[in-house]
């Protein structure tokens, strides 16, 4: 019998999900430190000064740190998947067959939610467009950065945590627990508010709603990237409290409950409504697909 067809080394999926959390924090920290050291050499900066001023770091340095952190996450999840779950790494949700619709759904959902939110703020008088600042290099750096952000968080939260939780309990309960963890991963972000915390939980639900039916990562990967990229580098909002260079610069005024303030649009009541609507829509989409798939298998 092949090792990858054996039962998991730890039978309880919830326990496997719990055991990876602390190693995840350690691996991510170590690999980001390595990335910071590499960047200090490339950019000819002092390592300690660079570490102390990460809040004001350049987009390039953030991208390097994110790439190294993602490598650490992938390595850790591969180790757990290979030796604890005794499965192939691709089985966490990387099958691309017949998943073009998932990628399209995710990309369009991010564009529409950020675009609609931005337009609602504009027509309500809470947002004024200022200038267009086209910087191809900056946009390419942002694409790279947010691709790795989405891979890092989706592989860990949906690909490993949610997948293993689903093996131990009702998939909706697993979705809620994984969304609480997703929210917790962002609690140290700057400019956090109560509405932002609620929306981070809702974002976890939205990102996982397709996974509980498909066990495939392409929808959450595409949505996570699109949400971040269009929120920050395109429409000019902060991304989870972090500033980014953007194509469109604007001025925000009015209540932070409506605008999201310095946390970004995802910290607003608009995002609460948009996320809630999107959750319902994609639950219906993937539930219907699940029913059709189940019916076709019984024929």
**Radius of gyration (C-alpha) of the chain in whole angstroms:** 20
| pLDDT over 70 (residue 18) | yes
Q: Which residue has the tokens 């004001």?
A: 56
| Phi, psi for residue 249 in degrees, rounded to 5 | -105, 145
Average pLDDT score, the chain: 92
Predicted local distance difference test score (pLDDT) of residue 56: 64
Per-residue buried b or exposed e for 271-297, using 16+ beta carbons within 10 Å of the residue's own CB: bbbbbeebbeebbebbeeeeeeeeeee
Rounded CA gap, 102 and 106, in Å?
6
pLDDT digits over 125-176, tens only? Answer: 999 999 999 999 999 999 999 999 999 999 999 999 999 999 999 999 999 9
The pTM is what? 0.94
Show Cβ contacts of residue 67 under 8 Å, excluding neighbours closer than 6 positions: 35, 144, 148
Predicted local distance difference test score (pLDDT) of residue 1: 40
Rounded CA gap, 102 and 210, in Å?
9
pLDDT digits over 238-268, tens only? Answer: 999 888 889 999 999 999 999 999 999 999 9
Show Cβ contacts of residue 70 under 8 Å, excluding neighbours closer than 6 positions: 148, 149, 151, 152, 155
Cβ neighbours around 52 below 10 Å, total: 10
- Residue 214 tokens read as 């498909």
Rounded CA gap, 241 and 260, in Å?
10
pLDDT band at 4 (very low <50, low <70, confident <90, very high): low
- The answer to whether 205 and 277 have CB atoms below 8 angstroms apart is no
pLDDT digits over 74-113, tens only? Answer: 999 999 999 999 999 999 999 999 899 999 999 999 999 9
C-alpha distances (whole Å) from 266 to each of 118, 185, 240, 263, 296 are 11, 15, 7, 7, 39
What average pLDDT does this structure show over 208-232? 97
Predicted local distance difference test score (pLDDT) of residue 6: 76
Contacts 24+ apart (CB under 8 A), 60-63: 60/141, 61/36, 62/145, 63/141, 63/144, 63/145, 63/148
pLDDT band at 2 (very low <50, low <70, confident <90, very high): very low
User: What is the DSSP-derived secondary structure letter of residue 169?
Assistant: S
pLDDT digits over 260-282, tens only? Answer: 999 999 999 999 999 999 999 99
| Sign of the alpha-carbon dihedral angle for 261, 267, 271, 272 | negative
């Amino acid at each position: 019998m092949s090792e990858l067809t054996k039962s998991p080394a730890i039978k309880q999926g919830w326990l496997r999900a719990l055991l990876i959390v602390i190693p995840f924090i350690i691996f991510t920290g170590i690999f980001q430190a390595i990335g910071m050291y590499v960047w200090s050499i490339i950019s000819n900066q002092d390592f300690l000064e660079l570490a102390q001023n990460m809040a004001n770091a350049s987009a390039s340095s953030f991208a390097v740190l994110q790439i190294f952190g993602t490598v650490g996450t992938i390595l850790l999840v591969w180790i757990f998947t290979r030796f604890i779950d005794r499965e192939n790494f691709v089985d966490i949700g990387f099958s691309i067959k017949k998943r073009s619709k998932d990628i399209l759904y995710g990309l369009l959902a991010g564009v529409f939610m950020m675009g609609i939110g931005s337009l609602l703020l504009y027509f309500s008088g809470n947002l004024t467009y200022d200038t267009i600042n086209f910087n191809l290099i900056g946009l390419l750096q942002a694409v790279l950065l947010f691709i790795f952000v989405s891979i890092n968080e989706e592989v860990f939260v949906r690909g490993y945590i949610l997948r293993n939780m689903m093996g131990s309990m009702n998939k909706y309960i697993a979705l809620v627990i994984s969304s609480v963890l997703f929210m917790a991963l962002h609690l140290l972000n700057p400019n956090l508010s109560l509405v932002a915390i609620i929306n981070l939980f809702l974002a976890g639900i939205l990102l996982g709603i397709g996974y509980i039916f498909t066990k495939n990562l392409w929808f959450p990967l595409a949505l996570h990237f699109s949400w971040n990229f269009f929120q920050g580098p395109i429409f000019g909002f902060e991304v989870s409290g972090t500033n980014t260079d953007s194509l469109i610069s604007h001025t925000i005024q009015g209540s932070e409950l409506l605008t999201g303030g310095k946390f970004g649009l995802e910290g607003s009541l608009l995002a609460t409504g948009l996320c809630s609507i999107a959750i319902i829509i994609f639950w219906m989409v993937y539930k219907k697909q699940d029913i059709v798939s189940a019916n076709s298998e019984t024929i």
